[in-house]
Amino acid sequence: MVEPIRRPPPRLHPLALRVMHWVNALSVIALIFSGWKIYDDAVILGWLHFPDWITLGGHPETALQWHFLFMWPLMLNGLIYLAYGIVSGRFVRKLLPISPREILATIRETLRFKLSHDDIRHYNGVQKLLYVGVIAILVVQVLSGLAIWKPVQLSELLALFGTFQIARIAHFVGMALISGFVVVHVLLAILVPKTIVAMITGGPRDAEPVEAGDTTFAPTAH
């Protein structure tokens, strides 16, 4: 009797996902730093200004050029990432469902310093909420950014926000939320180094091996 062929499951983070992650990370950071310089040229909150040493561009015009440069990689890479997550089923497997009970349980464990990070293949309730939230914020961020950039040519898009100033405020609030996410994300990566190692190497295998010809369970690439 011939032994069934068993193929190993995919890594937690396959190469395509890792490339998209780092392109997004680089683009978002560049957009935040250049955006801070652009903001300084027309502040929304009179008391809030960003020092030059933490901005990208040096001058508002140069900052705009940096902003436009990294806007396109974020948009194109983001669309590919969304398509990948939906078609592969990764979003459903990894991020859904989001249970309020699970979120509260994660918060309680965190406050008691009992939150386990032994198995990085599974996201807790707070991680799911943060990842889904930041994806939604990035979508709004791109739409509001386009509305600000071309308010006349994209007047229909601007109308979704109501006015130019509301679109600016939405873009500013989105920037603040994404900046907060980046800080939390980096801190967690420092506290749990194997998460960032996995995003470089691919991490552990994500499921049990599957026998060739077995159609009852065939994990797609993550």
Q: Work out the pLDDT band at 218, boundaries 50, 70, 90.
A: very low
CA–CA separation, 197 vs 192, rounded Å? 9
E-assigned strand segments in the chain: 6-7, 210-211
The tokens for 63 are: 């900052």
Percent of the chain with pLDDT over 90: 63
Say which amino acid occupies 81: Y
Mean pLDDT of all residues in the chain? Answer: 87
Amino acid 3: pLDDT: 57
CA dihedral (148, 154, 160, 161) in degrees, to 10, reads: 20
pLDDT of residue 2: 55
pLDDT at 22: 96
Name which residue leads in pLDDT, 20 or 221: 20
Q: What percent of the chain lies above the pLDDT cut of 70?
A: 89
CB 144 within 8 A of CB 171: yes
To 10 degrees, the CA torsion angle through 89, 94, 97, 101?
180
pLDDT at 123 > cutoff 90:
no
pLDDT of amino acid 39:
95
Lowest mean pLDDT among 5-9, 52-56, 134-138: 5-9
Q: How many residues does the chain have?
A: 222
Question: 3-state SS of the chain: helix, strand, coil percent to 5?
Answer: 65, 5, 30
Identify the structural domains of the chain with CATH numbers, from first to last.
10-43+59-203 (1.20.950.20)
pTM metric for this prediction: 0.84
Query: The tokens of 175 are what?
Result: 């920037």
Rounded distance, CA 37 to CA 4, Å? 60
Q: What is the pLDDT of residue 143?
A: 96
Q: Residue 140, Cα to own-chain centre: how many angstroms?
A: 13
